[in-house]
Structure 1
Amino acid sequence: MSSTLDVVNPYSLEVIGSAETSEWDQVDGMLATAHRLFRQRDSWLPAYQRIEILKKTARLMEARFEDLAFQIANEGGKPLVDARVEVMRAIDGVELCVHEVGQMTGREIPMDLTEAGSGRLAFTQREPIGVVVAASAFNHPLNLIVHQVAPAVATGCPVIIKPAPDTPLSCLDFVGMLHEAGLPPDWCRAVVCNNEVAEQMITDPRVGFFSFIGSARVGWMLRSKLTPGARCALEHGGAAPVIVGEDADIDEMIPLLAKGGLYHSGQVCVSVQRVFAPPSKAQEIAQKLAAAAKLLKVGDATDATTDCGPLIRPGEVDRVEEWVSEAIDGGAELLAGGKRLGPTTYAPTVLLNPPANVRVSQLEIFGPVICVYSVDSITEAIETANSLPFAFQAAVFTQSLETAFQAIQRLDATAVMVNDHTAFRVDWMPFAGRRQSGYNTGGIGYTMHDMTQDKMAVIRL
C-alpha cells in the first residue's frame, strides 16, 4: 500500500510538494522487471538510441532550467545562484554521458607472446554490469542523481534510484524527463521508500551494481550486506584540510576559502573545514575569513539575494550548535557566527585554534563552520591533516613549487588543489574518497566504466 511523503522547504518548513512512497512488493516488481530486461539481451537498447534519449533529456533540462533551479533551492536549501550552477552542471553531465558512450571501447589482447597463445586473435568489449540500484544524498538533489542515473542509462543498465527523502522532487523530475525523451519507463524507476525497504532492495541478489552517496556509517554497513558478486561505489565525506604556506597570498586566498567552506552552508562532502597556517599568519587569516563570513546573507534559498541557505533539517542546526559550543568551551576563539539564527539556520562561523580532540577537529561538520589552526611547520600541518580516518580532497596555498609538491606528495588525499579550495570539481575528473571517505571512483566516465565489465573473445585462427 503506497502512502505520501510531504516535502518541505528546509527554511520555512512549509510543505512544497509530495512524493508517493513504495512498499516492498512494488519495489520487488521493479527489480524483477529490471532484472528481466538485463537478462533478455535481445531487448538491450542500442547505443544510438541511448545517445538520442540523453540528448533529448539535456534539451528538456535546458528548456526547464529556471524551474529546476528553483526546485533545488526550494527543496534542498541551496541558494538560487548556486542552484543555477547545479542545473548547468547536470545538463553538462548528461551531455558528457553522450560523449563517453563513444569511449566505451575494448582493445586487442596480444596472444602470440608465447607459443601457447600463438595462432589466436583476442579482443575485449564492454558490457553493462547488470541492474544498478542507487541511493542518493540531499545536498545536490539534481546533479547527484544525474551522476548516478545517467551513466547507467548511457551504459545500458536498468536502474532504480532512491533519492534522499528530503529532496525527492528533483529526482522525480529528472526520471520523468528521461521517460519523456523516449527511455522506456522500466529501464529507469525512482523509488521513494523507508530505510527497511531500501536496504532490502540494495541487498537483493538481482542487483549488479550499487551506487551510494551519503554517510559513511550507512554506506559501509550496506556494502557489508551486498549479495556476493555485486559491485559498488561509495561516496562519503571528510574534514577537508587546507595547508597554508608562509608565502601564500592571503588576500587572494580568503574569498576562495570562504566560498569553499561556506558554500551551501558547508553541506558539501569536500567543504573547507580545517585550515592549517603558520603562527605568524593564522590570526590574520582567521580574522579575514570572519570578516568575509559576516558579509554573507543567511535566509531562504529561493531568495536570489541569499548567500547561505538553511541546514537541511532543524536537528542539524542543533548538532552544529552543540559541536561549536564544545569547541569554544574547550578554548577555541570565536571570530564570527557561533549562533543559530532561527530554527533552520546557523550563522557562518569561523573558529581559531579549536582543541584537537573536539568534534569540529575530528569529524565532518557538514555545516557553515571553518576552523583555522596555528601550526609550526608544513610537516606538522600535513601530519595533522592526515591524522583522521577520512581522506578526500585537500588543498595547499603557496607560491613555492617545492611547498606545493611537498603537499601533493605527502597529503593523504585523492586530489590536492594548489591555490584553490578543496571543494573544486568538474564532472569529468575522478572524484573519490580514500579510507573511510569512500570506495571506488566517481566522475561520469569513471562511473560508466564501473557500470560495465570486460568480455573477451579468443578466436583460434
Structure 2
Amino acid sequence: MIQVVQAFDRAPIAEVPADDAAALERKLAAATRAMRDRDGWPKPHRRIAILRRAAELLEERQARFALLIAREGGKPLTDATVEVVRAVDGLRNAADEIRNFAGKEIPMGLTPASDGRWAFTTKEPIGVVAAISAFNHPLNLIVHQVAPAVAVGCPVIVKPATTTPLSCLELVALLREAGLDEPWCQTLVTDDNALAEALATDPRVAFLSFIGSARVGWHLRSKLPPGTRCALEHGGAAPVIVDRSAAIERIIEPIAKGGYYHAGQVCVSVQRIFVHAEILDAFTERFAARVAQLRVGDPILPETEVGPLILPRETERVASWIEEATARGARLLGGGRLSETTLVPGIVLDPPADAKLSQLEVFGPVTCIYGFTEMDAAIGIANSLPHAFQAAVFSRDIGPALRAAQRLDASAVMINDHTAFRTDWMPFAGRRHSGYGVGGIPWTMEEMAEDKMIVLRQEG
C-alpha cells in the first residue's frame, strides 16, 4: 500500500494499493490487445462524446477535485480551483481538436513519373502510450497526457507521482464513467522506480510521455527500445529581464505571481530576475514589500497564497541552497521556515554566478535579483545555463522588448508577463536539457499520431 498524506501537515489522507510487476504485465497486455484490434478502435464521434462527458462530470465536481489537489499536492485552494477549470477546458480542447485532426492531400502529377495518381495522408494512433507524470499539477498534467491519447485513439497507461496519485485515480474513474473502456486508460501506481522504468521501456510501448526531472527523463530516453518515440518535459531557472523603461508599479504583481505560485514548484517559475541598475533599488524595495505580504500557510484555507513544498526533504534542500548563497556574500530578504514542509518566501540579492541558486532549478519559494547596466550582458548570463524553457522581458519600449525576445534562448518569451504564463492549447517545450518534443494538447496529439500515406493509381 502507498500512504498518501497532506503536503502541509503530513496528515494521512488515504492508502492506495500499489501495483506490482504482474499488474503491469496485465495492463500492458490489455492495452496491446486493444491497440491490435483495429475493428474495436473507438470511433472519432465516440471519443468526442467521452471527452465532452468527462469535462461535464469534472466541472460538476470542481470543488471536490480542487480540495483534493490542495490536500495531496499543497497547492493553495484558489490556485487548485483554477487548475480544475483548466483541466475541464483541456478535455474540451482535446475533443474539439478531433474535428480538425486530419491528414492532407499530397500533390501528384508534378513529374511524368507521378502522373495518374492521387495521394493523401491519414492520421493513425501511434500505439500504446506510457505517461509518467509529476506532482505539481496532479490533475492538469494528467489531462495533458491522457486527453490527447484518448483523442487520438491510443491506449494509455498513466503513472502519477507517488505523492499525488488521488487526482489521477479519480480522473481515470471519471473517464470510465464517461464511457471509456478500461484498456484505453489504465493507471500504474507504484513507488518502485524499477517498475516505472519497466513501463517506460517496454517494447510494446510506442510513445513515452514523461514530466519530471531531467535526470530521470534523459535516463529513460537512453533506455527506450528502437522505434519508441517520446516527449520529455523537465524544468529550468527561468530568467526575467526588467528594462529601465518598465513601469515598476505594474510589474511587481505578475513577477511575484510567477515566482511564488505554488511555492515556486513550477517548471517555468520566475527564478532569476535581471533588473536595470537605474531602477534596481526601487524595484527591489517594491518587490520585497509585496513578497513579504504573501499569505503563507495551510493550502485549504481560501486566503492562502503560498503553501508547502511537497516533501520535508525539499524544504531542507531549498534552505541549504539559500544558506550556500548567503554564506558567499548574497543578501536574503524574507525567508525562514513556517513548518516541516513550508518555507516563508524569500528573495536572494546577487547570489554568486556559480551558486546553486544561479545555476539550478530551485523549485521553491525563492527568487534571485541581479543588477545590470547592459541588456545584452544580462541576456548572455540568462542564456548561459544548459537548460532553457520560458523567459520574460518587461519594458514599455518596443525596441528593448523585441531585442530581448529575439535574443533570449527560450522556447517562449513573454513580453510584460511572467514566465509561468501558459494556455493549454499553446506549444510548450523545453530546449536543451529542459526537454524534448512539444507539449500542449493539440501538439501532443500530433506527437501521439502517425501519418499514413495512401496513393491511388488511375487505371486505364
* TM-score normalized with structure 2 length: 0.98
What is residue 379 of structure 1 aligned with on the other side?
A: 376
Distance across 1 between alignment mates of 2:328 and 2:108: 66
Distance across 1 between alignment mates of 2:46 and 2:301: 40
What is residue 335 of structure 1 aligned with on the other side?
A: 333
CA RMSD, 1 decimal: 0.7
Shift of 1:284: 2.2
Shift of 1:287: 2.1
What is residue 218 of structure 1 aligned with on the other side?
A: 216
Given candidates 236, 241, 244, the residue that maps to 2:242 is 244
What is residue 398 of structure 1 aligned with on the other side?
A: 395
Shift of 1:400: 1.3
Tell me the alpha carbon deviations over residues 367-416 of structure 1, each in whole angstroms, 9 at most, x when there is no partner.
00010101121101110000000100000001111111111111100000
What is residue 105 of structure 1 aligned with on the other side?
A: 102
Distance across 1 between alignment mates of 2:224 and 2:332: 45
Given candidates 28, 31, 47, the residue that maps to 2:28 is 31
- Say if 2:291 is the partner of 1:293: yes
What is residue 123 of structure 2 aligned with on the other side?
A: 126
Report the secondary structure of 2:144's partner residue: helix
What is residue 271 of structure 1 aligned with on the other side?
A: 269
Given candidates 200, 206, 209, the residue that maps to 1:208 is 206
What is residue 232 of structure 2 aligned with on the other side?
A: 234
Report the secondary structure of 2:369's partner residue: strand
Distance across 2 between alignment mates of 1:335 and 1:15: 34
Distance across 2 between alignment mates of 1:283 and 1:335: 13
Cα pair 1:257 1:272 within 8 Å, conserved: yes
User: Could you tell me the percent identity over the aligned residues?
Assistant: 56
Report the secondary structure of 1:6's partner residue: strand
Given candidates 128, 136, 155, the residue that maps to 1:158 is 155
Distance across 2 between alignment mates of 1:134 and 1:44: 20
Shift of 1:17: 1.1
Given candidates 281, 284, 302, the residue that maps to 2:282 is 284
Shift of 1:352: 1.2
Cα pair 1:286 1:350 within 8 Å, conserved: no
Distance across 2 between alignment mates of 1:331 and 1:278: 21
Structure 2 counterparts to residues 299-310 of structure 1, below 5 A: 299-310=297-308
- Say if 2:68 is the partner of 1:71: yes
What is residue 188 of structure 1 aligned with on the other side?
A: 185
Distance across 2 between alignment mates of 1:439 and 1:447: 12
Report the secondary structure of 1:341's partner residue: coil
Shift of 1:29: 1.1
Which amino acid is the alignment partner of residue 106 of structure 1? G
Shift of 1:90: 0.1
Distance across 2 between alignment mates of 1:119 and 1:45: 35
- Say if 2:438 is the partner of 1:441: yes
Cα pair 1:287 1:335 within 8 Å, conserved: no
Distance across 2 between alignment mates of 1:42 and 1:424: 42
- Say if 2:360 is the partner of 1:363: yes
Which amino acid is the alignment partner of residue 328 of structure 1? T
Which amino acid is the alignment partner of residue 282 of structure 1? L
Which amino acid is the alignment partner of residue 181 of structure 2? P
- Say if 2:406 is the partner of 1:409: yes
Shift of 1:250: 0.8
Q: Post-superposition, which runs of at least 4 consecutive aligned residues in structure 1 deviate over 3 A? A: none
Shift of 1:290: 1.2
Report the secondary structure of 1:60's partner residue: helix
Report the secondary structure of 1:354's partner residue: coil
Distance across 2 between alignment mates of 1:269 and 1:119: 52
Given candidates 176, 180, 196, the residue that maps to 2:173 is 176
- Say if 2:123 is the partner of 1:117: no
Distance across 1 between alignment mates of 2:214 and 2:280: 31
What is residue 81 of structure 1 aligned with on the other side?
A: 78
* TM-score normalized with structure 1 length: 0.98
Distance across 1 between alignment mates of 2:152 and 2:16: 28
Report the secondary structure of 1:200's partner residue: helix
Tell me the alpha carbon deviations over residues 341-390 of structure 1, each in whole angstroms, 9 at most, x when there is no partner.
22111010011111111000000000000101011211011100000001
Tell me the alpha carbon deviations over residues 52-97 of structure 1, each in whole angstroms, 9 at most, x when there is no partner.
1111101110111100000000000000000000000000000000
Distance across 2 between alignment mates of 1:314 and 1:176: 30
Shift of 1:304: 1.2
Distance across 2 between alignment mates of 1:284 and 1:223: 46
Shift of 1:6: 0.5
Cα pair 1:300 1:306 within 8 Å, conserved: yes
Report the secondary structure of 1:186's partner residue: helix
Given candidates 126, 135, 155, the residue that maps to 1:138 is 135
Distance across 2 between alignment mates of 1:451 and 1:241: 31
Shift of 1:280: 2.2
Shift of 1:279: 1.6
Q: How many residues were matched structurally?
A: 457
What is residue 95 of structure 1 aligned with on the other side?
A: 92
Which runs of 5 or more residues in structure 1 are unaligned? none
Tell me the alpha carbon deviations over residues 193-213 of structure 1, each in whole angstroms, 9 at most, x when there is no partner.
111111011100000000000
Shift of 1:18: 1.9
Which amino acid is the alignment partner of residue 258 of structure 1? A
